[in-house]
Amino acid sequence: MNMENIKTEEEFLENYDSKQYEKPSVTSDILIFTVKEKRLAVLLIKRGAFPFKGRWAIPGGFVQMNETTEETARRELAEETSVKNIYMEQLYTFSDVNRDPRMRIISVAYIAFAPFNKLKHKAGDDAAETKIFYVNYKNGYLSLQDDNENIIKEDDLAFDHAKIIKMAIERIRNKVSYTDIMFEFLNNKDSFTITEVRDIYNAIKDIDTDDGNFRRDIRRKYMTDDTESEIKIIPTDNKYNYEHAGKPASLYKIVKR
Amino acid sequence: MNMENIKTEEEFLENYDSKQYEKPSVTSDILIFTVKEKRLAVLLIKRGAFPFKGRWAIPGGFVQMNETTEETARRELAEETSVKNIYMEQLYTFSDVNRDPRMRIISVAYIAFAPFNKLKHKAGDDAAETKIFYVNYKNGYLSLQDDNENIIKEDDLAFDHAKIIKMAIERIRNKVSYTDIMFEFLNNKDSFTITEVRDIYNAIKDIDTDDGNFRRDIRRKYMTDDTESEIKIIPTDNKYNYEHAGKPASLYKIVKR
DNA sequence: CAAATAGTGTCTTTAAGACAGTATAAC
DNA sequence: GTTATACTGTCTTAAAGACACTATTTG
């Protein structure tokens, strides 16, 4: 059939052959970040098959024909962590021709933020081994560390995953300064202290902000009415459960404006 | 062959069948922005085939097996404009299942910035008609306009391209505030006036900044030594070619620090 | 009481909006 | 001279770093 003679869209669609060209495979990778022990951490999975068998990698999977890349990422997220409805955003699409030795794979990477208490149960349930690694990213060099002081260097990671993790950390560190993403790491959005929020902020940026200034900024952005932020922080009536000496902290909760 | 028995990576690769699953197609779209007549503008192509025949669309093409998505975008860029080596960055990957009525297509969108004098020659050369449209994006609604006052509304664009253009404009407007991208639109980086830079800045943000404040900011960021910017702006010896009354402007050029 | 953590107030620097005023050309 | 554009200086406000100080609990 001659393409020039096709007159209607219906006719066109009937005659279009989507299988005539070779195609790359498409996967979604999901970087699940959390704050553990006042440190930024990421969940990785130990590869059980070649290539890179035994190495640590970002969870991911092939995009099915009936799902968006984000749906693929959420599916993988559910498989690895049993958490749903958490904050997620697209990071970047990686397409180097030889990034996977098996075949041409284009990968759409997503980042997700989960409170640690939602994450810690599932670890080890699955056949595939997962582990949460503390991230250490300074001066352009990344290393990861588990609870037993084992250190994973960039070259120990599978594929181009060191590059992806580094880009993700840069994105998160940047975005925490001008968005509300730090609250996504709170274990309980209906009952938290300002110190908990500051610990998250410090963990992400890997700095030690001045406590007084941090509280002033929180007051300005989230506790007054003349502000642009979408959310508001208000005190709760709950009592703080003292675990140590020192002035007991006030408890707050997040509400939409 | 049983997957369990595969022992080496070489063996694995020999036996991996990348054609066993149905795959989505992958394209790269390239949004070519310029500043024309002191207004932000984008290059679009008139579709010559179904679907959306006769509608305006973002140029794009299928990703070949031996090229990255960025290389695809640069290839399309060269086909439409004959410009090379211009600034380009990845915008976002669009993967809605039914975004293309023909078949499943995942599209990686890129944005590129070109000075208008590099762009204006090629238009009309090709078999496919291209046109540069002024963009008008306010209050969440996009409309496009050509030199003859013809107006293109969101629904007149092909596929989900209105959504993509809107996201691109937001990215550019945001980035112009904290990066040096505005200089990528200069017709001549070795001879320009501060007013030309300001016109570009105003065109992108669709505002009218105070001239004095803009010049002070340029001085601070690009003409002093205690600054973080990668580039520096220094005066040139060239003479200004007067075309009107008024004090003649100084000419500057951009140098790396 | 000391120790520990929570929280406030003040001083300073810097970026940036508003806007008045000056400089140098064409005509 | 007027007009048009280029350019400088000053006042003000807001955000944020540094840091001293106060408050309230445990032990």
Q: Give chain C positions with protein CB within 7 A.
A: 2-10, 15-21, 23-27
CA distance B50 to chain A (A): 6
Which residues in chain A are contacts of B106 at CB distance < 8 A?
26, 63, 69, 108
Q: What proportion of chain A, given as a percentage, has pLDDT over 90?
A: 76
Q: What proportion of chain B, given as a percentage, has pLDDT over 90?
A: 75
* B210 CB contact with strand C at below 7 Å: yes
Check CB contact under 8 Å for B97 and A24. no
Which residues in chain A are contacts of B88 at CB distance < 8 A?
none
Mean pLDDT of the region B238-253: 80
pLDDT at position B226:
80
Structure tokens at B152: 């293109």
Summarised one tens digit per residue, pLDDT across range B154-205 is 999 999 999 999 999 999 999 999 999 999 999 999 999 999 999 999 999 9
Under the banding of pLDDT at 50, 70 and 90, the label for residue B208 is: very high
pLDDT at position B84:
84
* B195 CB contact with strand D at below 7 Å: yes
Q: What DSSP string runs through B47-99?
A: --SSSSTTSEE--EEEPPTTS-HHHHHHHHHHHHH---S-EEEEEEEE--TTS
Under the banding of pLDDT at 50, 70 and 90, the label for residue B248 is: confident
Under the banding of pLDDT at 50, 70 and 90, the label for residue B82 is: confident
Higher-pLDDT residue of B37, A12? B37
* A242 CB contact with strand D at below 7 Å: yes
**CB hemisphere CA count around A254 (13 angstroms):** 19
Mean pLDDT of the region B47-65: 94
Under the banding of pLDDT at 50, 70 and 90, the label for residue A119 is: confident
Structure tokens at A117: 């208490």
Structure tokens at A166: 């580094």
pLDDT at position B2:
40
pLDDT at position A4:
43
pLDDT at position A5:
43
Compute and round to an integer the Cα radius of gyration of chain B: 22
B71: number of Cβ within 10 Å: 15
Check CB contact under 8 Å for A24 and B22. no
CA distance B70 to chain A (A): 8
Mean pLDDT of the region B43-63: 94
* A245 CB contact with strand C at below 7 Å: yes
Under the banding of pLDDT at 50, 70 and 90, the label for residue A122 is: low
Summarised one tens digit per residue, pLDDT across range A175-223 is 999 999 999 999 999 999 999 999 999 999 999 999 999 999 999 999 9
Which among A21, A65, A97 is the nearest to B62, CB-wise?
A21
Distance CA B252, CA B234 (A): 5
Q: Do A70 and A28 meet the contact criterion of CB atoms below 8 Å apart?
A: yes
Rounded to 5 degrees, φ, ψ at B187 are: -65, -35
B207: number of Cβ within 10 Å: 9
* B239 CB contact with strand C at below 7 Å: no
Residue B46: enclosing H or E segment and its boundaries?
A: strand B39-46
Check CB contact under 8 Å for A22 and B65. yes
Rounded to 5 degrees, φ, ψ at A79 are: -65, -35
Distance CA B183, CA B113 (A): 10
Summarised one tens digit per residue, pLDDT across range B113-158 is 999 998 865 555 555 799 999 999 999 999 999 999 999 999 999 9
Shortest CA–C1' contact from A214: which nucleotide? D16
Which among B49, B93, B96 is the nearest to A90, CB-wise?
B93
Check CB contact under 8 Å for B51 and A13. yes
Under the banding of pLDDT at 50, 70 and 90, the label for residue B240 is: low
DSSP alpha helices (H): ranges in chain A? 9-15, 69-81, 116-119, 161-175, 194-205, 211-218
Q: Do A213 and A201 meet the contact criterion of CB atoms below 8 Å apart?
A: no
Which residues in chain A are contacts of B51 at CB distance < 8 A?
9, 12-13
Which residues are CB-contacts of A249 (< 8 A; sequence separation ≥ 6)?
A193, A194, A195, A240
Give the bridge partners for A254, in sequence order.
Answer: A233
Distance CA B149, CA B28 (A): 30
Summary mean pLDDT of chain B: 89
Which residues are CB-contacts of A11 (< 8 A; sequence separation ≥ 6)?
none
Under the banding of pLDDT at 50, 70 and 90, the label for residue B257 is: confident
pLDDT at position A237:
76
**Tokens 């180097």 sit on residue:** A96
Higher-pLDDT residue of A94, B11? A94
Residues of B with a known catalytic role: 129
Query: pTM here?
Result: 0.92
